[in-house]
Structure 1
Amino acid sequence: MKNVNKYARGYFMPPVTSLKWTEKEYITEAPTWCSVDLRDGNQALVVPMNLEEKLEYFKMLVKIGFKEIEVGFPAASETEYTFLRTLIEKNLIPDDVTIQVLTQSRDHIIKKTFESLKGVNKAVVHLYNSTSVAQREQVFKKSKEEIINIAVTGAELLKKYAAETEGNFKFQYSPESFTGTEIDFALDICNQVLDVWQPTAEDNVIINLPATVSMSMPHVYASQIEYMSDHLKYRDNVILSIHPHNDRGTGIADAELSLLAGGQRIEGTLFGNGERTGNVDIVTLALNLYSHGVDPQLNFENILEIIEMYERVTKMRVHERQPYGGKLVFAAFSGSHQDAIAKGMKYHEEHESDTWSVPYLLIDPKDIGREYEGDVIRINSQSGKGGIGYLLEQHYGLDLPPKMREGFGYSVKNVSDQKQKELMPNEIYDIFIQEYVNLISPVEFIEYSYTKSADYQTNVTIRYKEQVEEISGSGNGRLDAISNALQTRLGINYKDLSYKEHALETGSESKAVSYVGITAEDGKVYWGCGIDVDIMTSSVKALFSAVNKMVD
């Protein structure tokens, strides 16, 4: 591509090696989660949410289990100020939930922020200012000392107004654009803010290190976080928070590696909505933990309800391939995948396993409110016999013999290919009925009778070439006798009659289903299916169906 030399690496590695995080295998406990959907997420919408939509969204976040929720920048907008006041005055904030508000390091903004918090039980006041080389040189045109002064002044103002305002307040500081800031400078400015706040075990504070722009590979961000964690003052009294964006598509990796590196808290949004390519997706992060047997302390058992609310109030869309939430993320169209999943599900059911290990499915879809039939096995021209057979069995109780599944699978794929569409279970069932069940042309079965001496003697009434007639045959069983009568009358030969039967339903109105396969002289196998309240009659109908496919 052109102009590759114009892109220099704008991030800064720590001055010493920080790789202790690489020795850890996985995250062992959930971080503190802070949703920033109502601030970072809302400001990234084409049409920001109105008051009613923000209230509905807030209630859903509470229902999911968030204990910290950033609700806005109350001093910057009358809408956000009103939203915050509504939450407080209508007592909509549960006792175990802490709201968070954002403020710049400016006296009048900080003052109005605390005014907006009047009457709140507890809140995090989040102070930020930009610290990166690009911001200092191009936007603010200030020296490092001047940037530090902005942060320290803001920290002092937070202490001042918090002391004058009734309520319980926790302080948070973010060196915005942390990833483009020299690490020692980021450490210096954070430590000077901490010197102002003097955190204690009873009155701890939050230092938030945002990947405002994701600029490096995830291991670099993790090393930056580890270095900061190792060198921050008052570390035991500091909650180290991570706020990854997704510019490089590595927001999840940035977050997970940073939790290994000392991060204790994550700021993100549902489904990753946020500026540019978005914030880190908390749904994915939480369910990644869940897939490792770690309780994320957030409840996504009703993920479809959450998606419905999210799409309706944000006017955004959860992509079909979005991890966990997307409509197609559990779907298997590939024949080999479907076969493995169907066999895995059956194994899981038969062995009553306490652990989940079904091929191709990271977690059990039912645990987040998804359904196997609608979400897992999906049929198109790429599908195979295993998935098609699985759907017939799950929806209609039809347990086809393996060889019959193979032949039927080709029929279904051909229909899907011709129509260029996915086929629903009812469409697959209709194809099966039309092609295999109780076929009456060119030979229609009407009734039969039999006697038994040394072998079975049978008389069968049929309709053939529009004429009703009776044919006779003998064999070592009733079905064999009927089969021999048919071969004689029609002048055909086949061998290796395969047979399977099972009950189709339970109760007084139960039916029997039978499957019969016959092998012609050229080796081709023809299958038929019979369904009837009488098991023997269903067998005869299955045989006639197979013969009709052979002579048609």
Structure 2
Amino acid sequence: MATEKIQIFDTTLRDGEQVPGCKLNKEQKLIIASRLDELGVDVIEAGFPISSPGDFEAVDAISQIVTHATVCGLTRANIKDIECAVRALEKAIKPRIHTGIGTSENHMKHKFNCSEQQIIDRAAEAVAFAKRYVDDVEFYAEDAGRSDNAFLAKVCEEVIKAGATVLNIPDTTGYCLPEEYGKKINYLKEHVSGIENAILSCHCHNDLGLATANSIAGIQNGARQIECTINGIGERAGNTSMEEVVMIMKQHPYLNFHTDINTRMLTEMSRLVSDSMGMIVQPNKAIVGSNAFAHSSGIHQDGVIKNRETYEIIDPQEVGVNESSIVLTARSGRSALAYRFKNIGFEVTKLELDELYIRFLDVADRKKEVNNEDLHGIMQQFQYQQQSKAI
């Protein structure tokens, strides 16, 4: 069965870099951008050009090296921002300007002090101005997650008329439930005139831990682009995690979606971004965490040794991990111990294993994890005592 492509819009270098303490220099951004291009992302949001001279230079430099992906620059809905982005993107093979304004009652009242009509006018004017310079214009309705659906639909209609090719529907505060966000996307598909001329995009934040679930709900209801970051980094609790949404689509073929992401590069990309930004990936992070394919429970270890799929729904090699890890702790069983002994060159009988296991537990009760050096020590002591008995 043919599947529909979901575009992957990576904002690691823009939204991801907004994390406090995670500033990247231009050289680091170029390395990451180049690897993202190889990874197969469709759009690289390279930065916010008007925010600083450094960001402008980075967007300009990235535009010159990216050969496959669209290069995108963020702006607010004003002329100066857009003109700056145009200059930064002028060398890009496929440039995109990403402009927008808040559409929730909260933003209209407290951030902009504008009426609904003023917001609509500013949105349409910004898109029309950007369209003078580039064919590909994405509009973001900031805080769409808390925006009234009927008003949001009006804004979307007007920016499509003005030339928007992509409509970004951000859950800026991570407030929505998946069902609620999915219904919002579906409402726009059903009520926006001209929606067939634009791509709906999900940009979800993780304040309630729902960014990935909301993005999947979005594509199930008609969105065809997901905005995400490597490792889920981003403002506050972060953004939708690229590796999570990509692997969800790959592991659930009944969704009938695919991406162009080379998933075997995901772990490598995770480490590159983590090392460059100084942001440690939590060990239990889905897909790319150090424990994602590690097993320490005896029951789980026995199952995985017999058949990997007993406790793993993803082949580690699909995401660039060589193999599952059998971690020896006081919770490990005999099969795991025999497996690890075999890996370091010792085949043991059942009787030998029974005695070795007792010695192993003694070490495991004193340490968090028993490593290969410990195993060699256990085996040497065991063999010495066996030889002494023989004499």
TM-score by length of 2: 0.93
Total equivalences in the alignment:
387
Match of 1:379 in 2: 328
CA contact (8 A) 1:127 1:155 kept: yes
How far apart are 1:397 and its partner, in Å? 4.7
Over the aligned positions, Cα root-mean-square deviation in angstroms equals 2.1
1:436 Cα offset (Å): 4.9
Q: Which residue of 2 aligns with 1:430?
A: 377
Identical-pair percentage: 25
Q: Is the 8 A contact 1:127 1:171 kept in 2?
A: yes
CA distance in 1, matches of 2:53, 2:137: 23
1:336-366 Cα shifts (integer Å, max 9, x gaps) = 1111111115xxxxxxxxxxxx211121113
Does the CA contact (< 8 Å) of 2:12 and 2:228 recur in 1?
yes
> Which structure features the higher share of helix residues?
2
Equivalent residues of 1:100, 1:126 under 8 A apart: yes
Once residues 31 and 393 of structure 1 are traced to their aligned partners in structure 2, the CA distance between those partners, rounded to angstroms, is 44
1:152 aligned onto 2:124: yes
Q: Give the drift of 1:303.
A: 4.0
1:221 corresponds, among 170, 178, 181, to: 181
Report the counterpart of residue 196 of structure 2 in structure 1: 236
User: What aligned pairs does 1:436-447 form with structure 2 within 5 A after superposition?
Assistant: 436=383, 439-444=386-391
Aligned letter for 2:42? Answer: K
Is 1:334 paired with 2:294?
no
* 1:291-316 alpha-carbon deviations (Å, 9 max, x no partner): 33575421232444323321221111
The residue type equivalent to 1:87 in the other structure is I
Q: CA deviation at 1:237?
A: 1.6
Among 287, 309, 318, the alignment partner of 1:367 is: 318
Distance 1:410 1:365 in 2: 32
1:57 is matched with which residue: 29, 32, 46?
A: 32
1:323 and 2:286 aligned: yes
Residue-by-residue CA offset, 1:224-255 (whole Å, 9 max, x unaligned): 11111222222222111111110100111111
Instruction: Determine which structure has the larger strand proportion and give its number.
Output: 1
Cα-to-partner distance string for 1:479-512 (whole Å, 9 max, x where unaligned): xxxxxxxxxxxxxxxxxxxxxxxxxxxxxxxxxx
Q: Does 1:191 align with 2:157?
A: yes
Q: Is the 8 A contact 2:232 2:240 kept in 1?
A: yes
Q: Secondary structure at the match of 1:371?
A: coil
> Per the alignment, do residues 396 and 186 of structure 1 end up closer, same or farther by CA in structure 2, a change over 3 Å counting?
same
Instruction: Tell me, yes or no, if structure 1 residue 389 matches structure 2 residue 330.
Output: no
Distance 2:346 2:317 in 1: 21
CA 1:256 to 1:432, structure 2 compared with 1: closer, same or farther past 3 Å?
same
Deviation at 1:118, TM superposition (A): 2.5
- 2:331 & 2:76 partners in 1: Cα distance? 55
> TM (normalized to structure 1)?
0.67
Equivalence for 2:264: 301
Residue 111 of structure 1: aligned partner: 83
Match of 1:33 in 2: 8
In the alignment, is the contact (CA less than 8 A) between 1:30 and 1:289 conserved in 2? no
CA contact (8 A) 1:287 1:296 kept: no
Q: Distance in 1 between matches of 2:128 and 2:167?
A: 16
Query: What CA distance in whole angstroms lies between the structure 1 residues aligned with 2:265 and 2:125?
Result: 45
| Structure 2 unaligned blocks of 5 or more | none
1:398 to 347, 356, 369: 347
Q: Is 1:379–1:387's contact at 8 Å kept on the other side of the alignment?
A: yes
Pairing 1:26-175 to 2, within 5 Å after superposition: 28-88=3-63, 91-94=64-67, 96-159=68-131, 161-162=132-133, 169-175=135-141
Structure index of larger Rg: 1
**Does the CA contact (< 8 Å) of 2:39 and 2:265 recur in 1?**
no
Residue 332 of structure 1 aligns to which amino acid in structure 2?
H
The one-letter code sitting in structure 2 at the alignment partner of 1:405 is L
Asked whether the equivalents of residues 132 and 180 of structure 1 are also in contact (C-alpha less than 8 Å), the reply is: yes
What's the offset of the Cα at 1:83?
A: 1.3
Moved more, 146-155 or 427-436: 427-436
In the alignment, is residue 414 of structure 1 matched against residue 377 of structure 2?
Answer: no
Structure 2 residue aligned with 1:176, among 120, 138, 142? 142
Change (3 A) 1:172 1:303: closer
- The amino acid of 1:40's aligned partner reads D
Distance 1:341 1:119, change over 3 A: closer
Match of 1:266 among 221, 226, 239: 226
> Contact 2:8/2:227 (CA < 8 Å) preserved in 1?
yes
